[in-house]
Amino acid sequence: MSADTIDDLFRRLEKLNEIGAALSREHDIDRLLEFILVAAKTITRAQGGTLYRIIKVVGKDGKEERRLHFEILHNDEFERRGDPGRPGRQGGNSGNPINLQDILLYEGDGENHANVAAHAALRGETVNIADAYTAAGFDFSGTRKFDEINGYRSRSFLTVPMRNHENEIIGVLQLINCLDPQTGAVVPFSTADQRLAESLASQAAIALTKRQLISQLEELFESFIDMINEAIDEKSEYTGDHCKRVPELTMMLAEAASATEDGPLAAFHMTDRDRYELKIAGLLHDCGKVTTPVHVVDKATKLQTLYDRIHTLDTRFEVLKRDAEIEMLKRRLALREPRDAAAEAALRRDFEARRAQLEDDRGFLRRVNIGGEFMKDADLERVRAIGTAYRWRDPSGRESDFLSGDEIDNLSIRKGTLNEDEREIINKHIDVTIEMLEKLPWPKHLTNVPEYAGGHHERMDGKGYPKGLTREQMSWQARIMGIADIFEALTARDRPYKTGKTLSESLFILGRMKEEGHIDPDLFDVFVRRGVYLQYARKKLDPQQIDEVDLNRLPGYLP
């Protein structure tokens, strides 16, 4: 062996070592496959190559069958020609689909040894062919036809099975047309080429299997998260979709923030791992709601528990009207003997006024029972007055105040439908979320999930919950999720206690929250300036909610 050949072999061995180290660092499967094929071509000086993966599919007879699936095709000659009809790179990250049928490993009742790639996969052995046109034992008629159509000459083939750490064949690496480094002529693949390719295929198979196992674990984990959210959805149809929409809006705002090149967010950039970590946090941000009682989560009105007690009040009003009518009729009957028409008419007027007042008070209680943004002091006084001014007899004949203390307290809720105890129960979900997430043994690239997920109810001024963190104590990701959570809640039209607000209403409220120190001011500006709100609206909101937004009138925003 010449000195040049020995030096060349050492260089290629060093390249193989570099490739082995790089294989362990790649996390994206498509990029990993691409890297494997390019590396194999480089160390063997191949003009082209194909990477197949063994897949399992259900055949026409309903039985499972194994096939070789084309993952990536590379050919430097076609790349040089630049023919869009025959691109030099197909599959993988190229953007060019591979329109070739899978190769069957079994045909009829036997193994498919006519195809060299299938043979290598079935026997687990490398096949090194100097010239496909003169090789015996394999069917290269398809190769000849391809060459004839494309003005190409396929000559030397090196087909290597990819065997993982469990000695299982998971794919095939096929290289074509070894090029002489001096003349550029197509030559057979040498023994050294074969050994290098086999070594690479072995390393690549292990790296690919490892990445597939990790991907399967990630899929399992995400499926488990979906199961939790589905359990919440089954428990309450009003919160399940919230668990899906918030992560999506979170990622929209995060991408906009990452793309910002000036101001306080200029240094904020996300890697693929950062994105995945934030995605998982978004999916789990309300997992603690799995412990929240349904009657609190779904409380649509102030008097709702297991049912809406406003109907009980309706019955009491009917009793009062009945009692008033009976009293009026008794008095009219007493006037029959002296026959006083004027007095009877007065009794009728008093009764009608009494009934009208009862109807008005009932309508008022029904309105305040629905809940809203704020309740006036005068309305609170009226609730208390109604509760004590009327007296009624229950079915047992016992006389009592028209409204119980609990009913007065619930009807006097200033904002929304939850009383203090119920709001505390709802707020408890974030404590449970943090407790659940902090107990999990997170891998290094997901260690921030509890902080991201657990901070979306904190405020920039430190008045939020559960920890009362200030802006400086929170990550950008937690602040991003806080805005996403609020905006989704404002615009959601599937809540039992309200209708979804329009874009202009929601942004106005969000702007007020910026001024009041509730949300991050810089992220709010990005949310508006980069049109994240509109991007989300077009995907998730009812068209009637998407109204015209005057950015010049948004509180706290400078266009």
How does pLDDT run across 42-55, given as a tens digit for each residue? Answer: 889 999 999 999 98
Higher pLDDT, 355 or 109: 355
Higher pLDDT, 89 or 307: 89
Interval 33-43: pLDDT, tens: 788 888 889 88
Q: Which long-range contacts (CB under 8 A, 24 or more apart) does 181-189 make?
A: 181/8, 181/45, 186/47, 186/153, 186/155, 186/156, 187/156, 188/128, 188/130, 188/131, 188/156, 189/44, 189/46, 189/128, 189/156, 189/157, 189/158
Q: Which long-range contacts (CB under 8 A, 24 or more apart) does 289-296 make?
A: 289/232, 289/236, 289/239, 289/243, 289/429, 289/433, 290/228, 290/231, 290/232, 290/235, 291/428, 291/429, 291/432, 292/425, 292/426, 292/428, 292/429, 293/425, 294/235, 294/236, 296/418, 296/422, 296/425, 296/426
Task: Give the residue-averaged pLDDT of 501-522.
Answer: 93
CATH number of this structure's domain 3-214, picked from the four choices 3.30.70.270, 3.30.360.10, 3.40.50.2000, 3.30.450.40: 3.30.450.40
Task: Give the residue-averaged pLDDT of 491-502.
Answer: 73
What does CATH list as the number for 236-293+425-553?
1.10.3210.10
Interval 226-241: pLDDT, tens: 888 777 777 666 655 7
pLDDT at 396 over 80: no
Omega before 466 within 30 of 0, i.e. cis = yes
472 CB contacts (<8 Å, ≥6 apart)?
none
| Model pLDDT, residue 425 | 67
Task: Give the residue-averaged pLDDT of 87-109.
Answer: 87
Higher pLDDT, 207 or 16: 207
Say which range, 131-145, 319-333, 482-496, 518-532, has the weakest mean pLDDT. Answer: 319-333
Say which range, 76-80, 350-354, 464-468, 502-506, has the weakest mean pLDDT. Answer: 350-354
Task: Give the residue-averaged pLDDT of 334-353.
Answer: 76
> What is the average pLDDT score of the chain?
84
User: Binning pLDDT at 50, 70 and 90, where does residue 337 land?
Assistant: low
User: Binning pLDDT at 50, 70 and 90, where does residue 19 land?
Assistant: low
Higher pLDDT, 262 or 326: 262
Say which range, 260-269, 430-439, 469-478, 494-503, has the weakest mean pLDDT. Answer: 494-503
Rounded Cα distance between 202 and 165, Å, is 8
Interval 434-455: pLDDT, tens: 888 999 899 888 999 999 999 9
pLDDT at 2 over 50: no
Q: pTM for the complete prediction?
A: 0.65
Percentage of the chain surpassing pLDDT 90?
A: 39
| Model pLDDT, residue 330 | 75
pLDDT at 206 over 90: no
| Model pLDDT, residue 400 | 77
| Model pLDDT, residue 472 | 94
Say which range, 96-110, 126-140, 259-273, has the weakest mean pLDDT. Answer: 96-110
Rounded Cα distance between 402 and 389, Å, is 8
Say which range, 17-26, 457-466, 542-551, has the weakest mean pLDDT. Answer: 17-26
| Model pLDDT, residue 3 | 42
Q: Which two tokens stand for residue 102?
A: 């899978």
Residue 110, beta-bridge partner list = 107
| Model pLDDT, residue 492 | 83
Interval 519-535: pLDDT, tens: 999 999 999 999 999 99
Task: Give the residue-averaged pLDDT of 395-413.
Answer: 76
Interval 115-149: pLDDT, tens: 999 999 999 999 999 999 999 889 999 999 999 99
Task: Give the residue-averaged pLDDT of 495-510.
Answer: 82
pLDDT at 251 over 90: yes
